[in-house]
Structure 1
C-alpha cells in the first residue's frame, strides 16, 4: 500500500468512527418546560389569599385583574397546536403587568414566568397593545366637542380656581388643537382658553407658563401661585404613574413602536385603576395637600422616590406679544378678584 492509499484508509476509518458516535443533543432548558412547578403563576395563586400582596405584585386587586383579563382575552388568546399548548391569556397578562410594574428585562423576567425571552419580546408588546385597545374608548377619551372642552375648563375653575384652563401639560409637549379664540360665557371672565405648563415649555397665546423668578413682583407672584395650583395635578399624575409602573424608572430598551405601546398601555391602566381601584391605587395621601388657610403645601407620597419626568428646559425665551398679552390678562384677572 502506497502513501496515498494509507492516507485514504485512515480518513475512511475516522469518518466511519465519527458516523458511529452518538450525536450530542443540545441541552434544552428543562426548567422552562416545567411551568407547572416553577412559574410565578403558582405564586399568584397563593397571593389570592393575601390581598395586599396580590395588589403589590400586579398593581391591582384580584377583582380588577379578573375584569381586565376578561377584556383582553379575546385579543391575546392563541390556539393550541398538535405539538404544543399555547401560552394562556392569564400567563400573558401577568407577565406584561410584571414587566410594567418592575421594569425588569425580558432576560430577567423569563425566570419567574417560565416564558422564553424571544416569546416575551412578542407577548408583552402585543398585550400592551391589547390593553390600550380595550381601555382607550372609556379611559383615554379625548374631548371632541366644545361642550366637552368647556366641562374640563369648569372642573379646573371649581377645583383649582383657574378659569378657562383646558388642561395641564408636563413631560412631553403634544400638538393639540384648542377651541378657537375667546369664548364668552355669561358670568365668566373674557379670557382665552389655555393650557398651562412649567418653564420647560414655550409660551403661546393658548399655552401659559410662570413668570421668571427674577422678575417677580406681587402681582406676578399671585399669577404664578394660581398657575402652580392648576398645574400641580399633572405633576401628581406623572409621579404616581412612574412610581406605580417602574418601567418609567428604567431605560426602555424596546423598538420605538413597542415603546409607544408600553406608554399608552400604562396611561390607560392608570385611568382604569383610578376608577376601579382608587382606594388602593391612589389613596388620599398619595396626592399633594394644600392648606388654604396657611398657604402651605404638603407633598404627597408620589414624590417618593424622585419624580422621573423632568423635561429639559426650553431654549426659547422669546415669546410673542400676543402670548404675553394673554398671560397679562390672566394676571390682571387674578389680582382683581
Structure 2
C-alpha cells in the first residue's frame, strides 16, 4: 500500500472517530436537556412559597422566628442591613431576583437545620442549584462583610483586655484565651486520598479556635485533618505557626498578680492533647500528681472550660455541625466560617443563656506536640506555685462557680 492510500485510510478513521464522538455528545446533551425552562411547581413561588406565605407571620411571633432562624428579629434585621448591598440582585425581563430577606432566611435555615439543598428547594420553591448558590454567596458575604467587626484581628490592647476578663472570671492570670480543636464531618472530597481522613475513620475538617471569657471566638483556623495530622496538626496550622513564631501581637511578659516577679509570658490554655510551649499551657500528666500540680490542673480546667462551652453553644445553635456537611471542602469552610461569625454577632446582640453553656457534642481532635525545653516546664511550675500562694488563691465567692 502506497503512502497516499495509507494517508486516506488514516484520515477516514480519524473523521469517523470524531463523528461518532460528536453523536455521543449530542445524545448525552439531549438526555440532560431540561423539560422546562422553569418547573411548573417553582412558578408557584410568588404565591405559595414559604417566604411569601410565612415570612410576615414569623416576624409577628418572635419565638417562632427565633426557632426558625436561631436568632431574634432585631439581630436578623441587623444582619440584613449589613449584608443588603451584597445580597441585592437586579430583576430582569426573564425572571425576578430573590430578595435579600429571602436569601438570608434560606441561608440561616440551612445552617440552623443542616438539611440538604433539595429539601430547602421544595420548601422555598426554588431550584436546587439556586438554593446552593444563594447559601454559598450569603456565607461568603457574612464572612467578608462582618468578620472585621465581629472577629477583628487582635492587637496588644485587645489581648490585654481578654487577659483581664479571664483573670476576673476564672482567676487564671496572664491568660489570653482558651484553645481547642474539633472535627467537623464532611463528605468525601473526590481524589483527596487520606488528606481529610481522620483517626475516627471518617472525613473531616478541623476547626481550631481561641475564645475569650465571654464565649466569643477570637480567632479560628479551618484545615485538613489528614491521616498523619495527629502528630502536628496544630503546629502545621496557620494559627499554630503564628503562635510558635511569636506573631500573635501578645502583650509583653509581666509578673503574676500580687507578685514582684519574675515576668511571666501571656499564654493560651489547652487540654493535654496539645504540646507545652512558651505561650501554651497544658495540664500536668495524670500520674503522681502533687498538690500544687493537681491544683494547677483544676485551675487550668476552670479556664479551658470556656472553649468547650463556646463550641457547645456553636453546635447547639447551628445544627449543620450535627450532620455530614454535603459541600465541597472550600464551600464547607465558608459555611463553618459564617457560623463562627454569626456566633459572635449573636453573642454581642443577645448574650448567653445559662442553658447553652452545657451543650458540648463536637468530637475533639488528637494532637501531639513537640518536646518542650526545660524553661517551659519551669514556667508551668511557677504558675502552679502561684496558685498555692495567698495571691493566687481563688476567692471564696468563686470557689463553687
Instruction: String of CA shifts for 1:107-130, please: whole Å, max 9, x gaps.
Output: 222111212111122211110111
Cα–Cα, structure 1 residues 224 and 186, in superposed 2: closer, same or farther, change >3 Å?
closer
Secondary structure (helix, strand or coil) at the match of 1:135 reads helix
Secondary structure (helix, strand or coil) at the match of 1:71 reads helix
Residue 253 of structure 1 is matched in structure 2 by: 326
- Unpaired runs of 5+ residues, structure 2, are 1-32, 182-207, 209-233, 391-401
Higher gyration radius (CA) = 1
Residue 192 of structure 1 is matched in structure 2 by: 265
* Contact 1:136–1:268 (8 Å) recurs in 2: yes
Match of 1:182 among 253, 256, 281: 253
- Unpaired runs of 5+ residues, structure 1, are 1-23, 288-299
* Contact 1:47–1:53 (8 Å) recurs in 2: yes
Instruction: String of CA shifts for 1:226-277, please: whole Å, max 9, x gaps.
Output: 1011111111111000110011112222222222221221111111111112
Residue 41 of structure 2 is matched in structure 1 by: 31
- Is 1:205 the counterpart of 2:278 in the alignment? yes
* Contact 2:296–2:383 (8 Å) recurs in 1: yes
Following TM superposition, where does structure 1 have runs of at least 4 consecutive aligned residues deviating by more than 6 angstroms?
none
Cα–Cα, structure 1 residues 53 and 166, in superposed 2: closer, same or farther, change >3 Å?
same
Instruction: String of CA shifts for 1:33-85, please: whole Å, max 9, x gaps.
Output: 21134322122322222211110101112222122112111011111111111
Cα distance in 1 for partners of 2:69, 2:257 equals 48
Residue 310 of structure 1 is matched in structure 2 by: 364
Give the alignment's TM-score, normalised by structure 2: 0.68
- Is 1:226 the counterpart of 2:279 in the alignment? no
Root-mean-square deviation over aligned CA pairs: 2.2
Cα distance in 1 for partners of 2:169, 2:291 equals 23
Give the alignment's TM-score, normalised by structure 1: 0.81
Cα distance in 2 for partners of 1:308, 1:326 equals 31
Residue 160 of structure 1 is matched in structure 2 by: 170
- Is 1:127 the counterpart of 2:138 in the alignment? yes
Instruction: String of CA shifts for 1:163-213, please: whole Å, max 9, x gaps.
Output: 001110111243343437623588455322111111221111110111122
Residue 335 of structure 1 is matched in structure 2 by: 388
Cα–Cα, structure 1 residues 215 and 36, in superposed 2: closer, same or farther, change >3 Å?
farther
* Contact 1:239–1:309 (8 Å) recurs in 2: no
How far has the Cα of 1:317 moved from its partner? 7.4
- Is 1:240 the counterpart of 2:250 in the alignment? no
Cα–Cα, structure 1 residues 333 and 98, in superposed 2: closer, same or farther, change >3 Å?
same
How far has the Cα of 1:89 moved from its partner? 0.8
Cα distance in 2 for partners of 1:331, 1:46 equals 57
How far has the Cα of 1:308 moved from its partner? 1.1
Cα distance in 1 for partners of 2:130, 2:41 equals 15
Deviates more, 1:74-83 or 1:251-260: 251-260
Residues 12-27 of structure 1 correspond to what in structure 2 (within 5 A)? 26=35
Residue 90 of structure 1 is matched in structure 2 by: 101
